[in-house]
Amino acid sequence: MLRALGLTCALASMSAMADAPKNIIFFIGDGMGPAYTSAYRYYVADSDVDRVTPTVFDRLLAGSASTFPHDDTVVTDSAASATALATGVKSYNGAIGVDADKGPLDSVLVKAKQAGWQTGVISTSQVNHATPASFVAHAQSRKDYQEIAEQFYSRRIDGKPLVDVILGGGQKYFSLEEQGLGSKMVDWGYQYVRSFDALPELTQTPAMGLFADVGLDYAIDAEQPLRLSKMLDTALRLFENKSDPFFLMVEGSQIDWCGHGNDIACAMAEMTDFAAALELAEAYAKRHGDTLVVYTADHSTGGLTLGNKGNYRWDAKVVKQVDASLMVINESIEGLSGDALTKALAKNIAFEFSDNERFALESLKNHSDSRYWLLVEFVSRRSHTGWTTKGHDAIDVPVGAIGPMSDKFVGYHDNIELGQSLIDLVN
């Protein structure tokens, strides 16, 4: 009887191992609450109800997750939520890879490396920003940027780099000057490039590509708007050079930044970038059959609504008439009035402004912050986009998955459960 029971347990264990993914790609849309994935669906459809089709977010949708931090605030920041997703443990707002008592926590990335997996982080922010940092570092405050950056170099597993592939922004923190952190990493064996055009020069791991001083340009303003796809394609190429499994965290950082700025056109460009990268991973998972892809968000930003001020309408066509971030547009009209203002606005915004709107902008020509929020009001009013805050909200976020063990992510979860499930899969 005992022998039969032991055989049954062994067979069950072997079956579980056979079903486990060889690779995991974990996508985090920073600030990407459910209103963003809904807006993206209608943005792609261009407000034409006869052409609304499911997006990659709809195809992979499996459930939702709550995001509250350890304390009683209910509304999380990116550090606490990323720590929860990375470690499966709740912490306080501002915490990077530490618990509520400020004790260090090992992330799923660390545990994957300990198990012999290749590891990587991709981000459109600086790579030592809150979300990627929580997978790599321990810090009592997310603001300790240089301390966090140093841990990309100092934290090692069996004398090897903790992170094999590092792609995103943050050149400021990884200097190539003598004794600079970037220089130390190159001396240690990292290949390091500083432009997207140089990505093909990365031929082996460890590898690092940092493409901006801090965060990358907004997708809507960038020469390379699908930058996440470009970085993901490079990471997959590098990982496939080896037979080892890999864990890769991919963050669409600036969905959040556009949300803080209540800039709907900026946000939809970031969603387009994030969706393209997720589709690339989806295709990879279908092609290989051994890769789990999971997406979620750390929180929702801006209190985005589709429809505002009692209007039963949301107009994506208006959103598409804006082809630069409102931050860039605001800078371009600094100090301008009359025809010069009209021409500057027309360069990036296809709809016409009324005389009253132009007069209001002229009256604030030397008041940048107030003028910015007036531009937000004009775009939001025309597109019927609503915002309740310039910060985060506590709305549950979407969860989606495809590949081996994707059923673990079906239904409602708290964010720590997502982290715990990922850790179970790499152990």
Q: Summarize the annotated binding site for Zn(2+) as residue ranges.
A: 30, 256, 260, 298-299, 392
Location of structure tokens 């990036």 = 348
Location of structure tokens 């982080």 = 121
d(CA 133, CA 122): 11
Strands of 207-337, DSSP E: 207-210, 246-252, 291-296, 300-301, 305-306
d(CA 295, CA 299): 13
Report how many helices (DSSP H) and strands (DSSP E) the chain contains, helices first: 17, 16
Tell me which residue of 152, 149, 273 sits closest to 214, measured CA to CA.
Answer: 149
Tell me which residue of 295, 297, 300 sits closest to 276, measured CA to CA.
Answer: 295
- Binding-site residues, please? 30, 129, 131, 251, 256, 260, 298-299, 392
Half-sphere exposure of 327 (CA within 13 A, CB side): 14
Given the residues 38, 78, 300, 383, the one annotated as active site: 78
Task: Give me the residues paired with residue 30 across strands.
Answer: none
Strands 207-210 and 61-66: unpaired
d(CA 334, CA 365): 6
Q: What angle do CA 267, 124, 52 make, to 5 degrees?
A: 35
Other Cβ atoms less than 10 A from the Cβ of 180: the count is 13
Q: What angle do CA 99, 101, 106 make, to 5 degrees?
A: 30
Determine phi and psi for 399, rounding to 5 degrees.
-135, 130
Q: At 3, list the tokens.
A: 């022998």
**105 torsion bin: left (phi>0), alpha (psi -120 to 50), beta (else):** beta
| Angle between the N-to-C axes of helices 368-383 and 264-288, in degrees from 0 to 180, rounded to the nearest 10 | 70
In contact, 117 and 107? CB cutoff 8 Å: no
d(CA 62, CA 39): 18
In contact, 23 and 281? CB cutoff 8 Å: no
78 a catalytic residue: yes
- Binding-site residues for Mg(2+), please? 30, 129, 131, 251
**What is the C-alpha radius of gyration for the chain, rounded to an integer number of angstroms?**
22
- Looking at the chain, how many residues does it have? 427
Q: Provide the annotated active-site residues.
A: 78
